[in-house]
Amino acid sequence: EALVSREWVHLTGYSFFEPGPREVALRALEVCRELGLPFSVDPSSVRPLRDYGAECFLEDVAGTEVVFPNLDEARELTGLDDPEEVARALARRFPVVALTLGAQGCLVAAAGRVGAVPAASPPGPAVDPTGAGDAFAAGFLTR
């Protein structure tokens, strides 16, 4: 019911890594699919992703419109090393891949193409990168 009036749903990988939240996340994606509501996912963290299993995660998030992995998460999901190859491999599963590369910006893969987007220069020194991926995803999804 809460999803009916939404334009987009974004979930983090942490939503899938524990049984309680996983049940809610899977139900939310099921409703999104039923309503034709687009959704995006950020894998969140490589260690719990590894523990959960890359293939399980990829199956759970099938139908995701945009995926936002960092390079370590993307490597875990694909088994590949090169950032561009990783982005291309994920783009075979997802319409849009925004592969974050920290201070090097990101690679965006869509429609058979991969493009590099440089990171903006911060106005001052970065104190803590916590939440940077979440902020990036929010900005990316804002149209």
Q: What are 69-125's pLDDT values in tens digits?
A: 999 999 999 999 999 999 999 999 999 999 999 989 999 999 999 999 998 888 888
Which secondary structure element, helix H or strand E, spans residue 98, and what is its range? Answer: strand 96-100
Please give the torsion angle defined by the CA atoms of residues 31, 32, 34 and 36, in that order, rounded to the nearest 10 degrees.
160
C-alpha triplet 82, 75, 113: angle, nearest 5° = 55
Do residues 41 and 11 touch, judged by C-beta distance below 8 A?
yes
pLDDT at residue 5 in the model: 62
Report residue 115: phi and psi, to 5°: -130, 145
User: What domains can be seen in the chain, in order of their start residue?
Assistant: 9-141 (3.40.1190.20)
pLDDT at residue 120 in the model: 86
Give dist(CA 43, CA 77) in Å, integer: 9
- Evaluate if residue 66 carries a pLDDT over 70: yes
Give dist(CA 14, CA 48) in Å, integer: 8
% of the chain at pLDDT higher than 90 = 76
> Average per-residue pLDDT in the chain?
92
Which 8-state DSSP code applies to residue 5?
T
pLDDT at residue 19 in the model: 93
pTM, full prediction:
0.91
Which 8-state DSSP code applies to residue 26?
H
Three-state DSSP at 99 gives: strand
Q: Which residues are catalytic?
A: 134
Which 8-state DSSP code applies to residue 47?
H
pLDDT at residue 36 in the model: 92
